[in-house]
Structure 1
């Protein structure tokens, strides 16, 4: 009797083990299916191009009853050329955007990403979309009780500068600290974008922020209290990013961007936001 009971127990355990193995195998299969390469043929077949950008005037924002933003309008121009529907997802963190790209949750990161040698090893980048650089956002002399804005990078020693989380300015400020031989205190704000930090500078909540020149230029139109004339970095080429396994999509994007430049659409959109 005991032997029969033991055999029954072992059989039950064997069934559970086999069932568990089957479930794990199915789970792995599903995970593999989720990260299958998604290049232009798959995108064209579905008819949807997924992009992630940030919520600001450079990316995507709502103004009254209309949607605007440099990246958004550029993507809509591409939609007209390609015949694809562009679905837009918003994510302020650049690091999170790259994770979404890797997980096939989006096809393009549509934001002004500085092209560096390190990042080029991990992703593919379109032909440069804009030339950009990092600038210091501070108050004007008139808005800062007669205190003149900083013009020499050496004067940043001991100062506290705010940047958005994952901002490309972080590495530049670290290098700048080494260059001037002193400490520059950098605070990465997890909640606020470059635009919002510029507002905080204008209000006097913080003294200094660093953001893209394009963002700073857009902010200055509404915030005459800020000064953006002090450069932090050299001019950089900035582009959109796609996965390494999407070379056909990259070629298509470059072709569409070239057509948009040639027919004048790009300049029209660029001037609307940056000039």
Structure 2
């Protein structure tokens, strides 16, 4: 095997470029923090009256679109904080599993990522009022894989710490055959999609809205094979922050009744 393959191919360079871009997101947030016109967005942990939010680098959470930071979750939380006068400090993150551990340790108060509500995660964390509905899909270049039954004996990549691994494991038992699951601690959902498009991995399971957003750029991929039912997408709280969770839940419920929320749904969940 050519030992230089992982470093020299244009396909790998695409993934490296994405990693650099995610660092750029963090630098941008730090720059905003330093400017006096954006109080409350410092990268360092805030005081007790500030909500410390870890937010994943993802097309549906926090993403760079041209020169603008955007994403459904990011825009919703910014709208809520403006409406209710909350101070929010963002921690851009790329590792879901590491962020869940830090949330559990109290480093973060809230984690926002592409994570559906699951029974196993409920044992460790509290989930917010649902903010939208999504489901998991298979991303592949293989035109023969059009149903979950076709995954028997296949290798599937998922983001480490996400419920996708649990879902694929359940799917393996449902179809009565093995599915080889690779937990990726190194790559985000977007990077897995890029690796599938590049041919470096055969397939991955990610959230449908993320897959459809990225399909606009990686049109060679098949993203319509559903591997789960519709699932509530929620924000995740440290269980010890009960008062904060109660407050944010009430705010989410009220915000979902506003025209701003409908505008976000129309803007971001229009892929069907």
Q: TM-score, normalised by structure 1?
A: 0.75
SS at structure 2 position matched to 1:114: coil
Q: Deviations over 1:168-223 (max 9, x none)?
A: 11111112112222211111222211111112222222221110111111111222
Question: What is aligned with 1:224?
Answer: 219
Partner of 1:187: 182
- Specify the alignment match of 2:133 in structure 1: 131
The structure whose Rg is larger is 1
Distance 2:67 2:87 in 1: 20
Q: 1:266 to 1:52 in 2, by over 3 A?
A: same
| Counterpart mapping for 1:35-74 below 5 A | 46-74=48-76
1:112 partner SS: coil
**SS of the counterpart of 1:113?**
coil
Instruction: Specify which of 171, 174, 185 is matched with residue 176 of structure 1.
Output: 171
Whole-Å separation in 1 of the counterparts to 2:263 and 2:213: 16
2:55, 2:92 within 8 Å by CA — same for their partners in 1? yes
Q: Which runs of 4+ in 1 moved over 3 A?
A: 43-47
1: distance between equivalents of 2:91 and 2:46? 19
Q: Residues 158, 130 of structure 1: CA spacing in aligned structure 2 closer, same or farther, 3 A cutoff?
A: same
1:235 aligns with 2:230: yes
Residues 54 and 110 in structure 2, CA contact (< 8 A), matched pair in contact too: yes
Partner of residue 96, structure 1: 98
Task: Quote the offset at 1:44 in angstroms.
Answer: 11
Asked if 1:151 corresponds to 2:128, the answer is: no
Deviation of 1:260 after TM superposition, in Å, equals 1.9
Give the deviation of 1:99 after TM superposition.
Answer: 2.0
Deviation at 1:87, TM superposition (A): 0.9
- Please say if residues 138 and 206 of structure 2, whose CA atoms lie closer than 8 Å, have aligned partners that are also in contact: yes
Partner of 1:249: 244
TM-aligned CA deviation for residue 46 of structure 1: 4.6
Q: Residues 209 and 269 of structure 2 are in contact (CA less than 8 Å); yes or no, is this contact kept in structure 1?
A: yes
1:112–1:130 Cα contact (<8 Å) kept: no
> Alignment RMSD, CA only?
2.1
| TM-score normalized by the length of structure 2 | 0.76
Contact 1:159 1:185 in 2 (8 A): yes
- Quick check: 1:149–1:227 contact (8 Å CA) kept in 2? no
Deviation, structure 1 residue 45: 7.8
How far, CA to CA, are the matches of 1:44 and 1:157 in structure 2? 48
Which has a greater percent of helix? 1
Select the residue among 200, 203, 207 that pairs with 1:205.
200
Matches within 5 A, 1:155-170: 155-170=150-165
1:137 is paired with a residue whose SS is strand
| Mean Cα deviation higher: 227-236 or 57-66 | 57-66
Contact 2:95 2:186 in 1 (8 A): no
- Give the deviation of 1:64 after TM superposition: 3.7
* Residue ranges of structure 2 left out of the alignment (5+ in a row): 1-44
CA 1:107–1:203: 2 relative to 1, 3 Å = same
